Structure 1
């Protein structure tokens, strides 16, 4: 009699683990490093405070949004559930 063996189960679990590790590495190391490199390169190439300050602000926005991805995901899901049934509230004349 032949026994059925699923060979892919171990590979799927390994791939999932690697995917989670790579995602964590990207969000905790990759994005902050790229944001820092972006600020340094812009500051070095332009040698002007205006573009460098804007690079710092833009990098801060990108880094902050990527660091708060879980909260943004939950907020988006909450908004979708809230507005899925037609808004769940009364509309005034101006809202129509």
Structure 2
């Protein structure tokens, strides 16, 4: 009894896609927050002043917030593109333009 032929390329494509998704998750949920924390610590220890450290915290918070909400921003952008390209199933109420 023969086994069915196996296409190796399909397995490699699946593995590559999985690694890409895992890498993206690792970067956005671990690496960026870690780098934001390191940035705050470096600025705090180098300057030893509250002003620059506070600004570093604010900047790191903005970067972290934007990176964690990237999925929501992408979904909003897709909806906007669909709406302007052909309606996308949205109804336009007269007077909303």
TM-score range, shorter chain: 0.7 to 0.9
Residues 31-59 of structure 1: per-residue CA shift (max 9 Å, x gap) = 00000000000011111111111110010
- What's the counterpart of residue 19 of structure 1? 20
Equivalences, count: 88
TM-score, normalised with respect to structure 2: 0.77
Distance 2:75 2:32 in 1: 21
Name the Cα RMSD after superposition. 2.3
- What's the counterpart of residue 55 of structure 1? 56
Distance 2:82 2:9 in 1: 36
Q: CA deviation at 1:29?
A: 0.7
How is 1:55-94 mapped onto 2 (pairs within 5 angstroms)?
A: 55-84=56-85
Gaps of 5+ in 1: none
Gaps of 5+ in 2: 87-91
- What's the counterpart of residue 39 of structure 1? 40
Residues 47-77 of structure 1: per-residue CA shift (max 9 Å, x gap) = 1111111110010011011111111001112
TM-score, normalised with respect to structure 1: 0.78
Return 38-47 or 69-78, whichever deviates more.
69-78
